[in-house]
Amino acid sequence: MYHNPVLLHKSIEDLITNPDGTYVDVTFGGGGHSREILKKLSPKGRLFSFDQDLDALENKIDDERFTLINQNFRFLENSLLSFGVSAVDGVLADLGVSSHQFDVETRGFSTRSDAPLDMRMNVRQQLDAKKVVNKYEEEDLANLFYQYGELRDSRKIARQIVQQRLIKPIKSTQELKDIFHYIPPPKRNKYFAQIFQAIRIEVNQELEALKEMLQQSYRVLKPEGRLVVISYHSLEDRLVKRFLKNGMFEGEPERDIYGNFTKVFTLLQNKATVPDEKEIEENSRARSAKMRTGIKN
């Protein structure tokens, strides 16, 4: 089941400025945001949506204004060009794993059930969680747990995984969790979530894909076009915040003789928009959501 989309009405309100325009939803999922966008568009408007997950194709919308592209959003620019589109009025991204992907136990995203170590958003790709856990060098595992899971004991985690896989391969999510049985119950859920997040980000190259999508969004947006991004953890939000601020992910942009740098976006709101208590109560996935909107200068 695909759950209610997060910050639905606010995100569409930020996104659409021209009902006759062309828009992109780079994270189609259950189609909740896309359906709302189509409601706001005129008969002249167009919507292109992206999703690399084959399951999402089952939610395709029957509307002549709508095109669903079965691709990772890192291929945004070239995919749009293949449809003769070089400039759009707005891009919407609702990042992270969909509720559907978490709920399908066999996909291995959830810490709540036992499943094969998979975690692929695109089931056609070769790299999966089992390969990461069983084949990566100890140092590489430690680095990804530190960078993507923000776990301070990343070296210990990597060492324990390597010791366990020497005895026998780690094939399921439960076998992975069993390695860390000593973690006290109050801390266990968060700890497992961070470990799973790190592996999932590596499997799907999520941060690299996000960077590419953001850069391409800037290139395809018309002047005054809007980029709306909803993120769910600090790694994503940090990249989005920096990119909207100065068009870069790290370092500082070059400044002119007056100390000013060229702003690529103007922020619609200075602070991130977050869901209210009512939405969080109705949809637990909204709890960690942050939305940022930039207007292309």
What is the mean pLDDT for each group of 10 consecutive residues in the chain (297 residues)?
82 98 96 97 98 90 98 97 98 83 75 93 95 98 98 98 98 97 94 97 97 98 98 97 95 85 94 96 92 98
* 31 among annotated binding-site residues: yes
Say if CB 80 and CB 71 are below 8 A apart.
Answer: no
Say how far apart CA 198 and CA 59 lie, in whole Å: 29
Give the ranges where the chain is alpha helix by DSSP (H): 8-15, 32-40, 76-82, 99-103, 129-135, 138-148, 154-167, 173-178, 185-204, 206-220, 234-246, 277-282
pLDDT the model gives residue 1: 47
* 33 among annotated binding-site residues: yes
- Provide the 3-class DSSP secondary structure of residue 281: helix
* 101 among annotated binding-site residues: yes
**Tokens 């870069």 map to which residue?**
248
**Tokens 């399908």 map to which residue?**
104
Tally the C-alpha atoms within 13 A of residue 186's C-alpha that lie toward its C-beta: 0
* 51 among annotated binding-site residues: yes
* 32 among annotated binding-site residues: yes
pLDDT the model gives residue 292: 98
pLDDT the model gives residue 66: 98
Closest CA to 25 of 58, 55, 65: 65
Domains defined for the chain, CATH in brackets: 8-99+207-296 (3.40.50.150), 104-205 (1.10.150.170)
pLDDT the model gives residue 91: 98
pLDDT the model gives residue 254: 82
pLDDT the model gives residue 31: 95
Task: Mark residue 2 as left, alpha or beta (left: phi above 0; alpha: psi -120 to 50; beta: remaining).
Answer: beta
- Provide the 3-class DSSP secondary structure of residue 98: coil
pLDDT the model gives residue 215: 98
pLDDT the model gives residue 284: 86
pLDDT the model gives residue 4: 80
Say how far apart CA 285 and CA 232 lie, in whole Å: 9
With 0.85 as the threshold, say if the pTM is over it.
yes
